């Protein structure tokens, strides 16, 4: 019972791992992101690329949860389900009699997971929110973008990463709750706020402040705790260098013909390189501009120095490595239209990821689920449709 990205991302992951996922959508319009185009799969009335990114391995069932008969459908599905995942605004589900207390009374083994902007309690619980404002208010944009002395200002990440990471937290929490239920026999309510999730995964930047006492600042492609660890311009493009220890720095200096830098006490340890960043980086920048990216990468990788090109998405999804790893797969939807999808990155040894269903058409599986799961007759289904319940 989720839409947009955080909830659907969690649902897609669970579907990839083998769950039978029923996506409950509003009749007539469905998930908001179905209409977030262009681009569209097959004409403007079809699914948007955005929707297709987060909804494979699901069956679409349209239910009007504002109607009592629709609420009864949800309760009947809950009776035989393991998980209810929702990301409505706080209080919405309870207003329709579908909140966690009500649903856990229907099925005490249920895992009820709520994703919302600020969680189910606290002074901000009723406030709405989307990914971009969470990136801003929960700290990510304060460390993303060019340094303060350069033009550009704060920037958000190029994908809705706050939503995606909240979805990842929700997935792991659901799996942990299912594991707990295996011992206790009881379900529970899980509360996943986007804001708190965003704060949590600021990781080393959080600790840099808590331990060091200084507010982290944006640094472009550079790293606050590692040097040199940033993009460098070459003769023809850019490369990303990621030196993580002193051995790699020594090897990097030798590859670049800058052996003296490795012996310079200002740069001999990571601590010293961080302290003397402004003296070191210009020396590397001048040297990198002398040769082309491919030439540098060949030399660097030969010595096991982490470095890579800055590829655009077209390159990432179409190069030889994408073919080797099968990063893109094709699924057939209910209209027999081929739908591209990007592979789940996890490789299981015994329980492979499922690629069973293309993202569903709106309401594609409503009749099927009502018949097979709940035993509704054709006449009952037709009445529900005439009453605009489904």
Indicate whether 210 pLDDT > 90.
Answer: yes
Indicate whether 45 pLDDT > 70.
Answer: no
Residues 88 and 129 reside in one and the same domain: yes
Mean pLDDT (whole number) for 90-102:
96
Residues 285 and 348 reside in one and the same domain: no
The last residue of a domain, from among 310, 330, 355: 310
Q: How is the beta sheet containing 188-193 ordered, strand by strand?
A: 83-86, 111-116, 188-193
- Residue 23 located in a structural domain: yes
* Domain at 251, CATH number: 3.30.1540.10
Who's near 39: CB < 8 A, 6+ residues apart?
48, 49
| Better-predicted residue by pLDDT, 198 or 43 | 198
Task: Identify the pLDDT of residue 46.
Answer: 74
- Residue 220 located in a structural domain: no
Residues 302 and 362 reside in one and the same domain: no
Domain range enclosing 250: 229-310
The last residue of a domain, from among 290, 310, 330: 310
Residues 28 and 61 reside in one and the same domain: yes
- Residue 377 located in a structural domain: yes
Residues 184 and 75 reside in one and the same domain: yes
pLDDT in tens, 325-362: 999 999 999 999 999 999 999 999 999 999 999 999 99
Residues 327 and 296 reside in one and the same domain: no
The mean-pLDDT minimum among 89-98, 107-116, 121-130, 235-244 falls in: 121-130
Residues 303 and 367 reside in one and the same domain: no
pLDDT in tens, 52-64: 999 999 999 999 9
Who's near 381: CB < 8 A, 6+ residues apart?
366, 367, 370, 371, 390
Alpha-carbon distance of 311 to 315, in angstroms, equals 6
Number of domains present in the structure of the chain: 2
Task: Identify the pLDDT of residue 44.
Answer: 66
Residues 325 and 258 reside in one and the same domain: no
- Residue 222 located in a structural domain: no
- Residue 208 located in a structural domain: no
pLDDT in tens, 136-179: 999 999 999 999 988 888 899 999 999 999 999 999 999 999 99
- Residue 17 located in a structural domain: yes
Residues 340 and 256 reside in one and the same domain: no
pLDDT in tens, 283-310: 999 999 999 999 999 999 999 999 999 9
Q: How large a percentage of the chain has pLDDT more than 70?
A: 99
Residues 195 and 290 reside in one and the same domain: no
The residue from 31, 131, 163, 250 that is catalytic is 163
- Residue 216 located in a structural domain: no
Entry pTM: 0.93
pLDDT band at residue 128 under the 50/70/90 scheme: confident
Residues 280 and 183 reside in one and the same domain: no
* Domain at 326, CATH number: 3.40.50.10540
The last residue of a domain, from among 310, 339, 373: 310
Q: Which two tokens stand for residue 216?
A: 């982290």
Catalytic, 101? Answer no
- Residue 328 located in a structural domain: yes
Who's near 226: CB < 8 A, 6+ residues apart?
242, 243, 244, 270, 274
Q: How many CB atoms lie within 10 A of CB 274?
A: 15
Residues 265 and 290 reside in one and the same domain: yes
């Amino acid at each position: 019972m989720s839409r947009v990205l955080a909830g659907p991302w969690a649902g897609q992951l669970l579907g990839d791992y083998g769950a039978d996922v029923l996506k409950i959508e509003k009749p007539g319009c469905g998930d908001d992101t179905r209409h977030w185009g262009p681009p569209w799969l097959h004409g403007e009335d079809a699914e948007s690329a955005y929707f297709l990114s987060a909804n494979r391995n699901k069956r679409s069932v349209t239910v009007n949860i504002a109607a009592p008969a629709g609420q009864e459908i949800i309760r009947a599905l809950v009776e035989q389900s393991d998980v209810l995942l929702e990301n409505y605004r706080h209080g919405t589900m309870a207003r329709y009699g579908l909140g966690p207390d009500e649903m856990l009374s229907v099925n005490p083994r249920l895992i009820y997971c709520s994703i919302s902007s600020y969680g189910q309690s606290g002074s901000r619980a009723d406030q709405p929110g989307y990914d971009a404002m969470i990136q801003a208010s929960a700290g990510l944009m304060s460390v993303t973008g060019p340094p303060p002395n350069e033009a550009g200002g704060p920037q958000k990440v190029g994908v809705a990463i706050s939503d995606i990471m909240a979805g990842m937290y929700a997935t792991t929490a659901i799996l942990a709750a299912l594991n707990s239920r295996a011992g206790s026999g009881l379900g529970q309510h899980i509360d996943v706020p986007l804001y708190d999730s965003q704060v949590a995964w600021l990781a080393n930047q959080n600790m840099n402040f808590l331990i060091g006492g200084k507010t982290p600042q944006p640094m472009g492609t550079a790293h606050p705790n590692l040097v040199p660890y940033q993009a460098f311009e070459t003769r023809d493009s850019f490369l990303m260098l990621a030196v993580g220890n002193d051995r790699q720095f020594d090897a990097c200096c030798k590859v670049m013909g800058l052996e003296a830098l490795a012996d310079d006490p200002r740069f001999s340890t990571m601590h010293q390189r961080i302290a003397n960043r402004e003296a070191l980086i210009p020396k590397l920048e001048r040297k990198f501009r002398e040769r082309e990216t491919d030439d540098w990468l060949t030399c660097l990788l030969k010595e096991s120095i982490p470095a890579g090109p800055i590829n655009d998405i077209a390159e990432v999804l179409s190069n030889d490595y994408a073919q080797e790893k099968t990063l893109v797969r094709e699924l057939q939807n209910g209209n027999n239209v081929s739908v591209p999808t990007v592979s789940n990155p996890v490789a299981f040894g015994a329980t492979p990821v499922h690629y069973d269903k293309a993202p569903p058409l709106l309401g594609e599986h409503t009749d099927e689920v009502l018949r097979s799961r709940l035993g509704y007759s054709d006449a009952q289904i037709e009445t529900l449709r005439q009453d605009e319940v489904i």
